[in-house]
């Protein structure tokens, strides 16, 4: 998969679940509410997708890796959720892959690795309704050796990390920015 973004492989479930023990709460904090059409961009194995599907009316979950989509689908099937479509493809094509304009596009734990972030933001803008929101969950710019989970340094390389203001500055030309948000977890920001 040559198009996979650097530093964006799906983490091992042991420490990932330790870092994100309450995905439903996280998804609610991101602003997902009933009635929404949400795109989970780079959904991975569906940790957040399941909670999105439980809250929103419709979810499209996009990933480049078919194995991730299979795992995501298994979680949704086990929960009896039928309002989520799995779509294999590159995030840069989100405008086409989403199928219709979304209320919200969520990219969790992946934006740091996108080589052409301006292009990605433009693609996301094209996938959103006029008042739609692009929500990025990212690692703060803290040294990697300080962000330990299960006693090991975790997350992307220090130099790849971004503060909310950095993300907002890149996204600004593609869309109007509401507000860069503060932390809701020790290492990551909505």
Count the neighbouring beta carbons within 10 Å of the beta carbon of residue 82: 9
- Encoded tokens for 49: 């997708």
103 binds ligand SAM (CB under 6 A): no
Closest approach of Cβ 151 to ligand SAM, in Å? Answer: 20
28 burial class (0-12, 13-18, 19+ CB within 10 angstroms)?
middle
64 binds ligand SAM (CB under 6 A): yes
63 binds ligand SAM (CB under 6 A): yes
DSSP character for 10?
A: P
Q: Are 122 and 116 contacting, i.e. CB atoms less than 8 angstroms apart?
A: no
Closest approach of Cβ 177 to ligand SAM, in Å? Answer: 22
Count the neighbouring beta carbons within 10 Å of the beta carbon of residue 145: 9
4 binds ligand SAM (CB under 6 A): yes
E strands in 55-122: 58-63, 84-88, 102-108
Q: Which is nearer to ligand SAM, 64 or 81 (CB)?
A: 64
Q: Which stretch binds ligand SAM (CB under 6 A): 29-37, 106-114, 144-152, 157-165?
A: 106-114
For ligand SAM, which residue of 26, 51, 73, 90 counts as binding (CB under 6 A)?
A: 90
Closest approach of Cβ 131 to ligand SAM, in Å? Answer: 24
Q: Which is nearer to ligand SAM, 3 or 118 (CB)?
A: 3
Q: Which stretch binds ligand SAM (CB under 6 A): 51-59, 63-71, 147-155, 169-177?
A: 63-71
- Encoded tokens for 181: 């948000």
Phi, psi of 157 (to 5 degrees): -55, 145
43 binds ligand SAM (CB under 6 A): yes
- Encoded tokens for 59: 């979810």
Site residues, ligand SAM (CB under 6 A): 3-5, 8, 10, 42-44, 47-48, 63-65, 68, 90-91, 108-110
């Amino acid at each position: 998969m040559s198009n996979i973004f650097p530093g964006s492989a799906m983490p091992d479930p042991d420490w990932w679940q330790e870092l994100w023990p309450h995905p439903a709460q996280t998804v609610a904090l991101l602003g997902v509410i009933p009635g929404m059409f949400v795109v989970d961009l780079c959904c991975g194995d569906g940790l957040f997708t399941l909670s999105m599907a439980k809250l929103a009316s419709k979810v499209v979950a996009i990933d480049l890796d078919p194995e991730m989509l299979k795992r995501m689908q298994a979680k949704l099937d086990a929960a009896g959720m039928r309002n989520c479509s799995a779509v294999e493809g590159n995030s840069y094509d989100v405008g086409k892959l989403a199928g219709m304009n979304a209320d919200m596009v969520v990219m969790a734990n992946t934006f740091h690795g996108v080589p052409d972030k301006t292009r990605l933001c433009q693609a996301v803008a094209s996938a959103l309704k006029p008042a739609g929101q692009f929500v990025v969950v990212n690692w703060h710019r803290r040294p990697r050796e300080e962000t330990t989970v299960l006693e090991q340094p975790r997350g992307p390389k220090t130099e790849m990390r971004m503060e909310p203001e950095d993300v907002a500055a890149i996204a600004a030309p593609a869309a109007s920015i509401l507000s860069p948000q503060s932390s809701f977890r020790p290492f990551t920001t909505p």
